[in-house]
Structure 1
Amino acid sequence: MSARTTRTRVLAAAALAVATLTLTACNNGEGVRDEGASAGATSQPSSTPTSESQKNKETTTGAGQAASSSDSNSKPKDGKGAQNSTGSKGSSDSSKSSDSQDSGPTRTPCTAANTRMTATVVSRPLNHLLLTVTNTGSKNCNVIGYPAVRFGEAQSVPPVFEDSKPQAVVTLAPGESSYAGVRLSAADGSGSNGYTAKSLEVYLNKDSGAASKPSLPAKGVYVDDSISVTYWQQTMADALTW
């Protein structure tokens, strides 16, 4: 046998041995385990984030439910907290409003001490006298009601025209004036018990404690029992309407 033939057989035998070893390794499952482990290592990361995401979602949901439960427990079920807050504010506002009304300068009444009074005979309407009261003080004051006038030796004060009552009390700032009209006698001469008066006392209202004594014309004024007065007015025109 030649050397070339011998070498060929040796190589064939070696190749056969290698093939046999390879087949044996495949049959014992080692290759399958290696490939399975590799596949498992590849698929596991995809499942892990899903699990972590689910855990995070559950944690977040649980925290939200806890917070909602805490808020629900902390809020008053009957709304008393809101009512108490509102009531406190209302009480404060009411107190503030009350203090403002009680201490406001317009609560001060006008008196003979802080005003000046004048009496003027007017040509129209006939037989009328215009009373003017001016605030000579440094603060606002109210002219309340109607003047109580007494001419000469009269024992009573004349009545008021009730329809002349204004809608609001007249308030005078320093230097401002208010007006009242006095009908001295009936224009048609229908009055009775007439007399001539040369002096006049004027109380700002029937409850006033002191009287002013404005001057009358030297010849005096004629008065009869139809005499009447108006409430204090903002304007001369309103005072002389009656």
Structure 2
Amino acid sequence: MSDFRTSRTSRTRLVAAATAVLATLCLSACNDGTGTKDEGAAATTTSTGSATATPSEGSGGNSASGTSGSSGSSTSGSNGSGSSGGGAGGTDSGSTDQAPATKAPASSGKPVTCEGSNTKTVAAPLNRPVNHMLLTVTNTGSRTCFLYGYPAVRFGEAQSVPPVIEESQPQAVVTLEPGQSGYASVSLSATDGSASGGRTEKSLAVSFFGRSMSRSVGAAAHPSLPANGVHIDDSLKVTYWQQSMDDATSW
């Protein structure tokens, strides 16, 4: 019985001693701050982990920004393409533009002299100036043609052509693109009846001079006259060919 008590007492003392040792170790650890430093380290590690995570998110954000940048770039590119498309559209539209109906078609080949076979001539009496007739010559060919000098007109069976009004000479040779017209006026008779040789004629021939003005070239035109004819006299004269109707009728 006494041995049992002795053994129990010994164990109790051993436990108490062990407890005291542990308490001492804990107290020592608390006093040297190791535990606090460990916690701090742990906290630092955690904080560092969080800090590391933040740049990662930042990278993700940068990546998103990069994506946005790419998107922006893509959008710009798209807009650029749109502009380019507009330009192309612009470029297609310019290339498919048709000439206005009033514009003469483009001429092909070397220019020629205007004459009866490549033009159409119309003769029309004018109210103003009185006793005048307007000749309109239209280029019906495919080449540009030149109207040199003045019209060589012959009414009826006349053997000679009337003189030209020298003051009406233009600065340059009248040039007709296909479809364009040139003009000259004919002073048929004196307004005061002072000229001699008055008569009525019902036919007209218009010949065209060449560049040298020495003789007529090509075919003559035969524009129709009013059914009752036109009255002419010895004061008959013509203007040079003009580029505009107004210039032709101002003489």
The TM-score bracket by the shorter chain reads 0.5 to 0.7
Give secondary structure in 1 for the equivalent of 2:247.
helix
Partner of 1:59: none
Paired residue for 1:132, among 128, 131, 136? 136
More strand by share: 2
Partners in 1 of 2:110 and 2:173 — Cα distance?
10
**Compared CA separation, residues 105 and 238, structure 1 to 2 (3 A):** farther
**What is the Cα deviation at residue 105 of structure 1?**
5.1
Partner of 2:156: 152
TM-score by length of 1: 0.55
Partners in 2 of 1:128 and 1:163 — Cα distance?
17
Partners in 2 of 1:106 and 1:187 — Cα distance?
44
- Percent identity for Structure 1 against Structure 2: 61
Compute the RMSD of aligned alpha carbons.
1.4
Partner of 1:240: 249
Give secondary structure in 1 for the equivalent of 2:246.
helix
Number of residues paired by the alignment? Answer: 139
Partner of 1:121: 125
Letter in 1 for 2:250: T
Return 5+ residue gaps in structure 1 as ranges: 1-103
Return 5+ residue gaps in structure 2 as ranges: 1-107, 210-214
Contact conserved, 1:160 with 1:231, CA < 8 A, in 2?
yes
**What is the Cα deviation at residue 110 of structure 1?**
1.1
**What is the Cα deviation at residue 114 of structure 1?**
0.8
Partners in 2 of 1:171 and 1:213 — Cα distance?
21
Partner of 1:224: 233
**Compared CA separation, residues 141 and 209, structure 1 to 2 (3 A):** closer
**What is the Cα deviation at residue 108 of structure 1?**
1.6
Partners in 2 of 1:137 and 1:209 — Cα distance?
14
Contact conserved, 1:138 with 1:174, CA < 8 A, in 2?
yes
**Compared CA separation, residues 106 and 223, structure 1 to 2 (3 A):** farther
Partners in 1 of 2:126 and 2:145 — Cα distance?
27
Letter in 1 for 2:131: N
